[in-house]
Structure 1
């Protein structure tokens, strides 16, 4: 945004319009203890050139992730995003449009959401996917709440391999909802031990693969144990590229899948906005949070798109809503959809294989250093 200074006359005119005598009147509700006395020690009345120069000097102290190797991982990944992705999402009809309250007017938006859902369902091996969530962690928390609604139970078993930020988000929402969260001990192979001691009070078992340590696990046995106890299995994934190489959650018996889609089509952007992926079995669709775009035909038989389900509190009675999701970074979902379309199935498999090959190369090099031990024999990215 450009630097637009205001004159004293401008401020007086604006205050008069809203019925305030001075700027301090805007903050009368802020407690005195929270206010700062005096003037902040900053230079006053700087022109645009001076401000731009000062901000550039501050920004120069940063080191961008793109300036060198980036090994943060743990849910934040820097993959190459083709220039065509940014070019398309910057088209005015996508960049400036807001989800309308008469959604059928925006056929282009509904179509790309439908395509997004189709891609997510195929990646996860599930029957149905929604039109995206805020990010992977909130998708995980929503998945737990959905499992509690479906099973009418309130106990959640959390694998020790779940990303700590995801686990904290789940605990926060579960606390408010009155659900009990039981966390298993941290372990590189935590997913193999999470199903021990399940009983009829458990709503769901939450596992992550690849987990926060990078371990890729076949959780089919966990699904069997959960289902035997009448519980659901939720599978989390923080790196969507792994879907191109590993067995899908649906193939392993998952009932609900929550994942982070940032690594496809989206940059790091200092931690957000990201794009949450959410998929489930069709029999649970009425309990899914968020929106669901569907395909139909109009009165003249022409193909069209609608919001098939939108069980959020702004569309139906609050006590019947499955979520309160609102503006959920739909542009990030579009970037994901475009990048996935450009990659195709073969391209995604090649990208995933390249990631794994490079990670194995790094693991071999590090493992050859005295005193360094690679603890994860089966991994994707992290090790």
Structure 2
């Protein structure tokens, strides 16, 4: 099929219908500094396919990939071992090409997979119910805030300082259009999270309190204490889990009083993938289920008594009137949800607990080695597989120098919080089951050389 571009008259007619003077008016919400006045400088207007392949291959060769060097990055995206069977199964034709099951009678396999996924997520998060996945952890976090506002009829959300700044940014972007007020703060480099400051911010106008568990510095907040304080003011507690493997070792948030639990499922079954696509997890108390965004798959029987699966709840704007929709999610991370579910099935409950213990043990070994480096202090008293170290100088520079020595040595807090000079020397490091003793020693030796 030929590509037939619009004529100038076509464009003018379309702009007239929507009341825009020019195409540029459609980009008014994009900051002027982010817009280009013309083509990208230095980029040729055209090139052959072979030339483009050579150029892109050369650029890719400059990357230091996660599997090519000792790797200690985390901060919401984790490198775990994904069994080969996961990739093999998700590439089966009936899964790879399956889309949203609008016609349940011909999508029973997809619906069953999502039903099993929901069951696993609900058990993992400690909630009564879970939906059939969301885009990723950050958008799931925002949807939870919006859900809490609908339930409480309040518009003020308290976000703990330990919440991932990317999640905060996503929520702030969406809140611009809903009128929700977000009270945010940056974390403080203390050994334990300041739960009392979060509790002090709760009042009679608070819709919800959002707490990451473990938090962005790897610390573990007292969810039960925060939940009790929030419930005393009629506010909901939203727990955010960016590392689901942690729930193989620490108590599920729903068991500690969280009303809504959201998170990022990437760590199980889904690779790093240069940042996506990922997988949003979402669970809540059963009494709030009709305010839950996305979709819910259910189990039933047909006219002959045979087991079957249906879309039980789908309160999105494609199915009902826009003003009654609980979200504008148009599809879901179905293939990533399947990968998560397969990995969880392969592990089982005992396997997940064992994997979690291995992760924590590797992190303890890493903490001991880094603490032995002159000038380095381990911040945390408690952690799962991720913790913060304090360096004697700006961690951003240290990370770059470690990369020059072929060690990917963590995420600098200065990168996550560029405006917070008090955090500049903080470095967030992670160890998983893929972190070997040799990797740990290489990191320690390289850090000693960089800081010497």
After TM superposition, the score normalised by the length of structure 1 is 0.89
Between the aligned partners of 1:37 and 1:53, the Cα distance in structure 2 is 20
User: Aligned residue for 1:81?
Assistant: 82
User: Aligned residue for 2:147?
Assistant: 146
Measured after TM superposition, the shift of residue 58 of structure 1 is 2.7
Match of 1:190, SS state, is coil
Measured after TM superposition, the shift of residue 175 of structure 1 is 2.4
Measured after TM superposition, the shift of residue 304 of structure 1 is 0.4
* Cα contact 2:101–2:107 (8 A) shared by 1: yes
User: Aligned residue for 2:238?
Assistant: 234
* Cα contact 1:157–1:184 (8 A) shared by 2: no
Deviations 1:228-259 (A, max 9, x none): 00111110011010010001101110000011
* Cα contact 2:122–2:130 (8 A) shared by 1: yes
Give the superposed CA RMSD: 2.4
Q: 1:319 to 1:373 in 2, by over 3 A?
A: same
Match of 1:14, SS state, is coil
Deviations 1:45-71 (A, max 9, x none): x364x5544433332222211112222
After TM superposition, the structure 1 stretch with the greater mean CA deviation from structure 2, 52-61 or 62-71, is 52-61
Q: 1:303 to 1:351 in 2, by over 3 A?
A: same
Aligned length: 364
Q: 1:150 to 1:36 in 2, by over 3 A?
A: same
Measured after TM superposition, the shift of residue 40 of structure 1 is 4.8
Q: 1:183 to 1:33 in 2, by over 3 A?
A: closer
User: Aligned residue for 2:71?
Assistant: 70
Structure 1 gap ranges (5+): 1-12
Deviations 1:190-213 (A, max 9, x none): 352211142211111111110000
User: Aligned residue for 2:390?
Assistant: none
User: Aligned residue for 2:39?
Assistant: 36
- The 5 A counterparts of 1:329-344 are 329-344=333-348
Q: 1:370 to 1:30 in 2, by over 3 A?
A: same
Match of 1:177, SS state, is coil
Between the aligned partners of 2:54 and 2:217, the Cα distance in structure 1 is 42
Between the aligned partners of 2:40 and 2:327, the Cα distance in structure 1 is 42
- The 5 A counterparts of 1:110-125 are 110-125=111-126
- The 5 A counterparts of 1:126-275 are 126-187=127-188, 188=190, 189-190=192-193, 192-193=195-196, 194-275=198-279
* Cα contact 2:129–2:286 (8 A) shared by 1: yes
Structure 2 gap ranges (5+): 16-21, 25-34, 388-452
User: Aligned residue for 1:354?
Assistant: 358
Deviations 1:162-212 (A, max 9, x none): 000011111222221111111245234335221114221111111111000
Between the aligned partners of 2:141 and 2:301, the Cα distance in structure 1 is 34
Match of 1:322, SS state, is coil
Match of 1:259, SS state, is strand
* Cα contact 1:262–1:274 (8 A) shared by 2: yes
After TM superposition, the score normalised by the length of structure 2 is 0.76
* Cα contact 2:245–2:356 (8 A) shared by 1: yes
